[in-house]
Amino acid sequence: MWRTGITKRKRGRGPLVRVLLLAALLVAVGYGAYEYGKSQSPAGLSGPDRESLRLYAEALDAVRDGYVDREAIDPKKQTYGAIEGMLDSLGDEGHTRFLTPEERRENEQGLSGDYVGIGVQLEDRDGRVVVASPIEGSPADRAGIESGDVLVAVNGRSVSGQELDRIADRVKGPEGTRVKITVLRDGEERTFYLERAEIESPAVSWAMVPGTGVAHIRLSSFSDDSARELRAAFEEARLDGAERFVLDLRDNPGGRLEQAVEMAGFFLEPGSVVYIRRDASGERTPVRADGEAQLAEVPLAVLVNGGSASSAEILAGALRDNDRATVIGQRTFGTGTVLSEFVLSDGSAILLGVAEWLTPDGDFIRDTGIEPDIRVGLDEGEEPLSPSQTEGLSREEISRRDPQLWRAVRELAGGRV
């Protein structure tokens, strides 16, 4: 009995000890988590931020408890809307922004150079959504959609008054699905039924300007491999007899910043300032070209317009301020911030302007843009020509349809063409 009694006491202490140890462990873990995470909690926020959160909670309670259409209440939509509103209040229009998980995947896909769609580049021209150029071999190109076609409707729904990125989202979709596109051409509506496909969209295209020694090289984006593509295009053009070059950055929305710095290194001597980074504390750090400057001596002109933004402006500003190229066209968009991506817990993301950038001469271009050395506008009936279009036109047709390109050609030739 004695032994039995001792045995029972030992069995009774075992669970108790384990419970006490577990409780101690939970307290330790909880305290560690508290210390680690308290700066992330409302208690770790400043007084004004805590007050803002309380105000938001009051509004959320009012909507949740009192809104008449109960089915319309969607917590995720409300949260996303609040984040978007917060970012909109910063005033970094068109740059700092919120991406849903789906939009973030599409953004990454776009920067890779590949995406699923019909293969058109859309742009806003005086409130109309216009096809800038169909991608060669794409469903849009094979169906007969042409540069200059005005997009009227997607799947029978008008695009009037909608933002360009939202319209692009409606055109995109899963591979193999079909979309109905209605365009206006020469005053007549035309309808196309297209099957979406994976589009390989090269960032660079080029052609010789007929009757000249000038190569027209268009850079449409700063995607993952665009610097390599640009260098290859210059090499091919030189082998084909090009002696002078027009780098066309019109309607280029930007992209990877490191690609712009690498490209600047093709044209600028090592150590040249590409741009100046100014952080939130006001500290300025010059970002310099680092490369072999293989194209440092080639005669160069750069074309820009109001659709040239972000990395396109950084490259244009670097070439202008270092007296490396003549910049021709119209004032650029004016994106003066450097973005960093902050991925949130559900896969959504904030693209946040964490620094401002200035041109090598110290110009801050946010909202004011890059001012070209030579201003040339486009009138009604005139449009930026793609290299594939340039190749098939006479010099007279180019000068009539795209005065910006023709001015660049003349500038490179010393006025003699």
Residues 164 and 286 in one domain: no
Instruction: Pinpoint the alpha helices (H) of 89-172.
Output: 101-112, 139-143, 164-171
| 16: its two tokens | 């108790």
Instruction: Quote the domain boundaries for residue 154.
Output: 114-200
Task: Report pLDDT for 208.
Answer: 96
Q: What are the per-10-residue average pLDDT scores of the chain (417 residues)?
A: 29 42 42 44 73 89 91 91 92 84 78 76 78 80 88 94 83 91 94 91 91 95 93 97 97 91 97 96 95 94 94 97 98 90 94 93 92 95 88 92 97 77
3-state secondary structure of 381: coil
Residues 304 and 171 in one domain: no
Parallel, antiparallel, or unpaired for β 300-304 and 244-248?
Answer: parallel
Is 45 inside any structural domain? no
Burial class (CB in 10 A: 0-12, 13-18, 19+), 248: buried
Is 14 inside any structural domain? no
- SS3 per residue for 54-91: HHHHHHHHHHHHHCCCHHHCCHHHHHHHHHHHHHHCCC
How far apart CA 87 and CA 84 sit, in angstroms, is: 5
Q: Are 246 and 233 in contact (CB under 8 A)?
A: no
Residues 169 and 216 in one domain: no
What is the length of the chain? 417
Residues 214 and 154 in one domain: no
How far apart CA 207 and CA 402 sit, in angstroms, is: 15
Residue holding tokens 């301020």?
Answer: 321
CA 239-255-409 angle, to 5 degrees, is 40
Residues 155 and 294 in one domain: no
Is 223 inside any structural domain? yes
Please list, in sequence order, all residues whose beta carbon lies within 8 angstroms of the beta carbon of residue 123, skipping any fewer than 6 positions away: 129, 130, 132, 164, 251, 307
Is 10 inside any structural domain? no
Residues 196 and 231 in one domain: no
Residues 141 and 214 in one domain: no
How far apart CA 316 and CA 334 sit, in angstroms, is: 12
Task: Report pLDDT for 133.
Answer: 67
Q: Are 273 and 360 in contact (CB under 8 A)?
A: yes
**Structural domain count of the chain:** 2
Identify which of 80, 148, 94, 99 has the alpha carbon closest to the alpha carbon of residue 120: 148
Task: Report pLDDT for 113.
Answer: 60
pTM of the model: 0.73
Task: Report pLDDT for 364.
Answer: 93
| 357: its two tokens | 């950038």
Task: Report pLDDT for 42.
Answer: 58
Residue holding tokens 């620094």?
Answer: 355
Identify which of 129, 178, 173, 180 has the alpha carbon closest to the alpha carbon of residue 155: 180
Please give the helix or strand (H or E) that residue 32 lies within, else none: helix 2-37
| CATH number for the domain that contains residue 173 | 2.30.42.10
Is 309 inside any structural domain? yes
Starting at the earlier edge strand, list the strands of the sheet with 244-248. Answer: 204-208, 214-219, 244-248, 300-304, 326-329, 374-375
- Of 200, 224, 241, the residue that ends a domain is 200
Please give the helix or strand (H or E) that residue 4 lies within, else none: helix 2-37
Please give the helix or strand (H or E) that residue 234 lies within, else none: helix 226-239
Residue 329 phi, psi (nearest 5): 130, -130
Residues 249 and 130 in one domain: no
- Of 200, 217, 251, the residue that ends a domain is 200
How far apart CA 304 and CA 328 sit, in angstroms, is: 6
Residue holding tokens 């596109």?
Answer: 181
Residues 196 and 212 in one domain: no
Task: Report pLDDT for 200.
Answer: 76
Task: Report pLDDT for 265.
Answer: 97
| CATH number for the domain that contains residue 393 | 3.90.226.10
Residue holding tokens 């559900």?
Answer: 346
Is 85 inside any structural domain? no
Residues 186 and 229 in one domain: no
Task: Report pLDDT for 112.
Answer: 64
- Of 166, 200, 234, the residue that ends a domain is 200
Residues 271 and 384 in one domain: yes
| 22: its two tokens | 């577990």
How far apart CA 36 and CA 39 sit, in angstroms, is: 7
How far apart CA 77 and CA 83 sit, in angstroms, is: 10
Residues 308 and 399 in one domain: yes
Is 79 inside any structural domain? no
Is 6 inside any structural domain? no
